[in-house]
């Protein structure tokens, strides 16, 4: 599954790829081989914590940092390229993928201020009734300005179960007056795989794309 993510990154022009591994780390590294750098997340304390674990790997890194989830195999290369291009054009601290769903249940809602600027991402379990009514959701793919990210990564707050959500960096950026931008994507791209049913749904999308000859 993670190779679909890698293929999208490479097709978008991202060649320097580091994989954060934790659960069954040795098996994942053995499956992927020596084509990548690896960072070990010894405790699984959320997506934000995974990025924290990679701080030393990217210390002094001068390019852009694309962060994607290994269990989200449906993002297209053109979406990743659009996110990178938007960051370069606007110098945003964070660019994320977003989409609009008729039924946004289960996804983090993108909260915008009165001027339409992204102010926060609120996870569903933390959302009030008004926020739950928002249909624009976070897709879980990001482009960061790395110097800003790693200078502020310790500002992420722990949630009620002791994890760090990478989405909290949107709040940090907004509080500092930094720009956060979103690139719209197809709703099917944001499907993550956490259950057998979601795996079957992702496989169906990939088979359909293969039959049409599109990546």
pLDDT digits (tens, 9 = 90+) for 95-106: 999 999 999 998
Determine the pLDDT at residue 53.
Answer: 94
Which H/E stretch holds residue 180?
strand 180-184
* 116-170: pLDDT as tens digits: 999 999 988 888 999 999 999 999 999 999 999 999 999 999 888 889 999 999 9
Q: Report the length, in residues, of the chain.
A: 215
* Cα angle 212-69-67, degrees, rounded to a multiple of 5: 105
**pLDDT reported for residue 60:** 83
For residue 210, pLDDT beyond 70: yes
C-alpha atoms less than 13 angstroms from C-alpha of 76 in its C-beta half-sphere = 16
Residue among 207, 194, 204, 181 at smallest CA distance from 72: 194
Mean pLDDT of 195-214: 90
Tell me the C-alpha distance between 6 and 17, whole Å. Answer: 8
pLDDT tens figures, 9-47: 999 999 899 999 998 899 999 999 998 999 999 998 999
- Closest C-alpha among 172, 145, 144 to residue 156: 172
pLDDT confidence of 214, banded at 50, 70, 90? low
Q: Tokens 């890698």 identify what position?
A: 6
Least confident of 56-60, 140-144, 184-188: 56-60
Q: Provide the whole-model pTM.
A: 0.91
CATH 3.90.550.10 assigned to domain 2-199? The reply is yes
**Is the pLDDT assigned to residue 111 strictly greater than 90?**
yes
Map out the domains of the chain as residue ranges: 2-199
């Amino acid at each position: 599954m993670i190779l679909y993510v890698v293929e999208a990154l490479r097709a978008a022009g991202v060649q320097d790829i580091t994989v954060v591994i934790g659960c069954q780390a040795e098996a994942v590294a053995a499956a992927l081989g020596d084509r990548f750098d690896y960072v070990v997340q010894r405790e699984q304390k959320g997506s934000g914590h995974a990025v924290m674990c990679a701080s030393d790997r990217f210390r002094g890194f001068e390019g852009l940092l694309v962060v994607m989830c290994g269990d989200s195999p449906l993002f297209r290369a053109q979406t990743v390229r659009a996110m990178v291009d938007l960051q370069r054009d606007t110098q945003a601290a964070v660019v994320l993928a977003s989409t609009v769903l008729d039924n946004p249940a289960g996804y983090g809602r993108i909260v915008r201020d009165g001027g339409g600027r992204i102010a926060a991402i609120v996870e569903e379990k933390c959302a009030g009734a008004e926020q739950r009514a928002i249909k624009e959701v976070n897709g879980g793919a990001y482009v960061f300005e790395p110097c800003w990210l790693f200078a502020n990564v310790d500002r992420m707050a722990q949630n009620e179960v002791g994890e760090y959500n990478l989405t909290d960096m949107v709040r940090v950026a907004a509080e500092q007056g930094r720009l956060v931008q979103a690139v719209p994507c197809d709703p099917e791209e944001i499907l993550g795989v956490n259950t057998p049913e979601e795996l079957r749904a992702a496989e169906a999308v990939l088979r359909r794309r293969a039959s049409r000859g599109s990546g």
